[in-house]
Structure 1
Amino acid sequence: MKKIKKKLKVTIPVIVLFIFFACKSDAYKDVVGVYEGELPCGDCIGIDNKMTLKVDKTFVLETIYRGKGNGKIFRKTGKYSVENEQLILNVKKSPFKYQIGDDYIELLDIDGNKIESELNYKLIKQE
């Protein structure tokens, strides 16, 4: 009986740690992929966005201003992090924040709050 108790004392913490670290690393796996969508624009038809989130916590954000800029692609790259179910793009001027959904990310305001609007602020996961 003592041997069983001793094995359980060692085995249970190991299992708990394994589950904890497996779940923690999945936070990044869930967000990795390509997201696309059209966001609203104040002085153009709309902004086509394609965001690629990589396993190494880097991103590529490509935007095209429809009806303005002759289809030029604007590209931002950098690192991202995930905190409290929010995706944070670390860019020079100020970080972009997105709420993470099951198959989408949704742009948030500068303070990390949902944008109250009838307009679409979601990018849908493609891959």
Structure 2
Amino acid sequence: MKKVVLLFAVAAVTLVGCNNDEKKETISEENTENVESAIVDIHSSENSLDWAGVYEGTTPCADCKGIKTVLELNEDQTFILSQTYLGGSTGENELKQTGEFIWNHAGAMIRLRTETGGFQYKVGENQLWMLDVKGNTIEGDLADMYILKKTIQ
């Protein structure tokens, strides 16, 4: 009788031991899933796109036909910005600025450092979206006119 009880006790301990291992594996799998979902994507426009080049577009103008904008972004984080006011009361006026630009913390937007303050652009695949003074994408009927397209690769 003692042998049966002893055999039963060993079997019970073995079964309990196996069940505990299964629980540990389940917990381990759940922890792995949580870690995988916490991995942050480190890709950004700054480090994933071929952003250097020349971008062009004609942006709206309150007192002229439009502003032809040509922006050259260089690998050394310098820029050349040319803005030509088309069909204004004094004819065509061209303003040219050069300087440096900086990326935001997320690597998605740039700010041109100019004497007049600065322009902000969201950097995308072969295009730049001009942003408003608060750094927001311009919306509305004319939103497409605030996009500069890359012309030289």
TM-superposed CA distance for 1:108, in Å, is: 0.3
* Equivalent residue runs for 1:27-106 within 5 Å: 27=47, 30-68=50-88, 69-83=90-104, 84=106, 85-106=108-129
Q: Which amino acid aligns with 1:121?
A: Y
CA–CA distance in structure 1, aligned partners of residues 76 and 135 of structure 2: 23
State the alpha-carbon separation in 2 of the partners of residues 34 and 100 from structure 1: 13
CA distance in 2, matches of 1:102, 1:45: 28
The answer to whether the 8 A contact 2:55-2:150 is kept is: yes
**Deviant stretches of 4+, over 4 Å:** none
- Aligned-partner SS, 1:30: coil
Corresponding residue for 1:121? 146
The two structures, once aligned, show a CA RMSD in angstroms of 2.2
| 1:117 Cα deviation after fit | 1.9
Secondary structure, counterpart of 1:72 in structure 2:
strand
Q: TM-score, structure 1 length as denominator? A: 0.74
Name the aligned partner's letter for residue 94 of structure 1.
G
Aligned length: 106
What residue ranges of structure 2 are gaps of 5+ in the alignment?
A: 1-41
* Structure 1 gap ranges (5+): 1-19
Secondary structure of residue in 2 paired with 1:27: helix
**Larger Cα-atom Rg:** 2
- AA aligned to 1:99 is K
TM-score, normalised on structure 2?
0.62
Residue 75 of structure 1 aligns to which amino acid in structure 2? Answer: K
Conserved in 1, the CA contact under 8 Å of 2:86 and 2:93? no
Q: Cα offset for 1:77?
A: 0.8
Deviation per CA, 1:27-85: give whole Å up to 9, x if none.
38622100000000011100000001111111010011110243232101110112230
State the SS of the aligned residue for 2:50. helix
